[in-house]
Structure 1
């Protein structure tokens, strides 16, 4: 604090304030001190300036000798005591110079001015060191807070990268099986499938390190993904996507819609006799909903729910917002917040 760039302005203002108070309180008249106003003001200014500057010059040496970060209170206390000693020496020197050299007063006549100036100098020194201690502890608090926030951010990023890396390998395996069958039946269909398949994986590769994507980009990715699912399940799966253009300015976690659709397929029977209906639409409260009818597989109880937990964790880690999950025994609904960049 003592090296603050505006320290001289503060010193001048304090000296002026102190001198005006001595005049208003008629200190010089009450204690019968004969002194010119400019000498009185100059004395106060000199004491204020040298009290501050002595601590400023002393501070680097204290920091070098003592480990202030380890012994905060004791170091600040010793710094204050050292500053008080220097302040006393400086004040005595200034007062005796003004009183005995400039005005030829005796030692006894100089005693009262010395006492008054020492009281002011000690109070000024106490004020300076209190401000310094407040600044020191505030800086310590701010540093610790920033370190804690940085640690939280790094931990969150590490966890985010971990959950983002949990891509279901069954998606790749199942689509390769479909591709194999198409190659044997129809080359044109196989070529179209490969083209859409490449779009899906191109999206996954280009967004794996992104935290957010806009709705328009996510929907452009969903279209080829739905095409792949259509080839795999044919009439057993119906997916309806209804997202107006007005909502394309919002953002979602990358591949979150794809993972929710995949999650619905994973946990439910998908067949021509029992078709699975998945509805993707936007609510008026700036949320996007993925809803499917329930026709659970027998092995659903053994599910680890990695896909859904992945989405919930990613939303919470990045935005602090919760994903709403609802199961009413007739339909399974997941509601994702639509995010903005601010």
Structure 2
């Protein structure tokens, strides 16, 4: 996370959001059934070609056809998601600007950055619908002596020095979940943060780091090529993507949720009718075989949650991540 967080002020975001309310009466005067009146922007705090970006582009044709206006993704990565999130929070709450956001942006950042964060997810946004999940797995080099998770834990307990684990940065889902796993298993591990998972992959394959928790969009090719081995699904049950890989409870560990989820959010004052229409359309698409097939090709699971359920999950995850971050003493980069 760079200094942008410190420069962005929550007061400025709130002031701009309040000013943007001026456009809402006109929308209500015409009835929200007139929405959308122009193209709808979806601000995405992810680089083009990343997992959430690819997933949302599968959905765009459905939304554009259903509502009669183009739905356009604007990629605005930066400041751990704060650049896009602040811009969305400050947008007019008229349904013409949405935010595509992950659990990192919405549930982890508040605990990680505190008052330095330029937006407050629970206050500044209205959940629309969750779209998909990226399940995580525990990977080791193909040359690792650990052939399964119990042998890896035994190795960690007898090693002279802590085994090392790679992540794509401090406070990421991989970092937080590995800390949970370390505590649950009663082992010592040393964190080795990288700027991005592709940079970590070479070191993991070469055995310069011992393990990593990540998704198949990152390490799937190396796994298929025999350069890595997957020892566990970081979940309560096995994944359909790697059905032969056991889940944590099968080896006596808690059913940790190591996954990235993402969905759509709207500025907090967006009319409920607009949110409901979007929610229904997103979940309708997710129920189709085309959605399951398209997301499956990029190792993602359809994970439909309506607006209310996504809001409840966000509150639950925010509290859960805050507790883990405090207990582990995790600090941002």
**Which has more strand, going by share of residues?**
2
TM-score range, shorter chain: under 0.3
Could you state the TM-score of these two structures normalised by the residue count of structure 1? 0.19
Larger Rg: 1
